[in-house]
């Protein structure tokens, strides 16, 4: 993945922070980000000595000096609030604390916002829903579309992928459509950078869902071949993918509702800047005001450029799926879905007499009950 002009700073910071976690070898991290080890060590060394300042080619404005008047700190808080009108006192205070600033209490900051007319009267506390999350990064990724998003060049569709454990945004990409091939290309780029998750969850619509009896598509079949488990959210229950839904709300409030874009490329640049801020700068209330990057680590499972062969354990009956998405088993014609046509599936008995699981790679895609056929 080449480092372009738009995403240069965000990728440099992402690279050095994830490299410090030492989840995979430094050589592999450099390979995933498309840079040489020499370049990688250069940015890592500068970051260790100077922090984020070391990642740019020109000097930044220095931190506040001890002689600064309280009025200067007040203006700094107001400036951040105007830049991020949806961020409350706790988020802004935590951000400035991370930058080494000495700040007053949240109540003082809130009063400051009120004095300057920067608080919307309708703002109310949200219900405190019980939260569930996976215990480690890359155990589960949530994926969905946010859109369409209007641009002067036509509508775009925002593909979003979020890590369930850390809320780290792995993919925020403006696509011209919601077709499976477009999603596959975006996911390939994401997998090359961060590695493979254990599983992914998505809703029941195209391009990753179909009719309820045969929910798999060509796209999800490709994920199964990568040994990425696939599941779908419950129909009409958006809370199943609540973390990605919440990310969509944040994206809409802090970016989409307040800006316009020329075309897909212009929107993608805005997405890259927003993603950098969301992952590394914006304190997240559900993470005790830590940033998502503080809880994320790249996957130990690297993306294979060549798909692995489809193999089944000894004792598993293998059948090739025909053009109509059907297989023949014990004199019966059974439909397993057209997404698998031309590929071998495995048939494995269950603990219940007369019932069998149909496997594609390692995932059960349907069940056969010979007693009801």
Say if residue 111's pLDDT is above 80: no
Comparing 52 with 108, the larger pLDDT belongs to 52
The single-letter DSSP state of residue 208 is T
Whole-angstrom distance, CA of residue 187 vs CA of residue 293: 20
The Cβ of residue 357 has, within 10 Å, a number of other Cβ atoms equal to 16
Whole-angstrom distance, CA of residue 244 vs CA of residue 241: 6
Say if residue 313's pLDDT is above 60: yes
Domain ranges of the chain: 8-55, 70-115, 141-294, 317-372
Give the SS3 label for residue 358. Answer: strand
Q: Worst-scoring range by mean pLDDT, 151-155, 210-214, 254-258, 270-274?
A: 210-214
Phi, psi torsion values for 228, nearest 5 degrees: -105, 115
Q: What is the pLDDT of residues 245-272, one digit of tens each?
A: 999 999 999 999 988 999 999 999 999 9
Say if residue 298's pLDDT is above 70: yes
Using CA atoms, how far residue 227 sits from 32, 200, 314, in Å, is 20, 11, 19
Whole-angstrom distance, CA of residue 62 vs CA of residue 75: 16
Say if residue 174's pLDDT is above 70: yes
Whole-angstrom distance, CA of residue 354 vs CA of residue 183: 39
Query: Above pLDDT 90, what percent of the chain?
Result: 54
CATH class of 141-294: alpha beta
Whole-angstrom distance, CA of residue 163 vs CA of residue 197: 9
Q: What is the pLDDT of residues 324-372, one digit of tens each?
A: 999 999 989 999 999 999 999 999 999 899 899 999 998 999 999 988 8
pTM of the model: 0.74
Instruction: Please tell me the predicted confidence (pLDDT) of residue 119.
Output: 67
On whether the CB atoms of residues 205 and 341 are closer than 8 A, the answer is: no
Using CA atoms, how far residue 116 sits from 79, 102, 119, 262, in Å, is 11, 21, 8, 33
Instruction: Please tell me the predicted confidence (pLDDT) of residue 66.
Output: 46
Say if residue 6's pLDDT is above 60: no
Burial 146-167 (b: 16+ CB within 10 A, else e): bbebebeeeebbbbbbbbbbbb
Whole-angstrom distance, CA of residue 283 vs CA of residue 89: 11
Dihedral (Cα; 127, 130, 134, 135), 10-degree rounding: 110
């Amino acid at each position: 993945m080449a480092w372009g002009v738009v995403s240069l700073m965000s990728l440099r910071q992402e690279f050095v922070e994830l490299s410090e976690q030492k989840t995979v070898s430094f050589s592999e991290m450099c390979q995933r980000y498309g840079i040489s080890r020499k370049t990688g060590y250069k940015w890592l060394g500068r970051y260790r000595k100077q922090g984020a300042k070391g990642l740019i080619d020109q000097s930044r404005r220095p931190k506040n000096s001890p002689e600064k008047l309280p009025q200067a700190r007040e203006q700094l808080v107001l400036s951040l609030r105007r830049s991020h009108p949806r961020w409350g006192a706790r988020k802004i205070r935590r951000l400035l604390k991370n930058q080494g600033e000495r700040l007053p209490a949240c109540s003082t900051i809130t009063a400051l916002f009120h004095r300057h007319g920067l608080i919307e009267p309708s703002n109310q506390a949200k219900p405190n829903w019980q939260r569930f999350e996976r215990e480690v990064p890359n155990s589960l990724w949530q994926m969905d579309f946010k859109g369409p998003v209007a641009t002067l060049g036509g509508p775009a569709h925002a593909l979003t992928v979020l890590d369930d454990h850390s809320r780290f945004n792995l993919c925020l990409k403006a696509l011209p459509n919601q077709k499976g091939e477009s999603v596959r290309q975006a996911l390939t780029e994401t997998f090359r950078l961060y590695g493979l998750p254990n599983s992914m969850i998505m809703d029941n619509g195209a391009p990753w869902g179909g009719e309820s009896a045969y929910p798999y598509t060509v796209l999800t079949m490709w994920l199964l071949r990568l040994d990425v488990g696939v599941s779908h959210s419950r129909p009409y229950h958006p809370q199943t993918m609540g973390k990605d839904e919440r990310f969509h709300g944040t994206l809409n409030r802090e970016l989409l509702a307040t800006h316009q874009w020329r075309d897909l490329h212009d929107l993608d640049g805005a997405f890259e800047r927003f993603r950098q801020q969301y992952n590394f700068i914006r304190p997240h209330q559900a993470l005790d005001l830590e940033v998502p990057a503080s809880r994320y680590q790249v996957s130990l499972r690297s993306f294979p450029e060549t798909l692995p062969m489809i193999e089944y354990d000894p004792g598993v009956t293998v059948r090739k799926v025909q053009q109509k998405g059907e297989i023949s088993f014990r004199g019966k014609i059974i439909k397993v879905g057209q997404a698998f046509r031309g590929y071998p599936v495995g048939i494995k008995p269950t603990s219940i007499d007369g019932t069998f699981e149909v496997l594609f790679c390692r995932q059960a895609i349907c069940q056969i009950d010979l007693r009801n056929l």
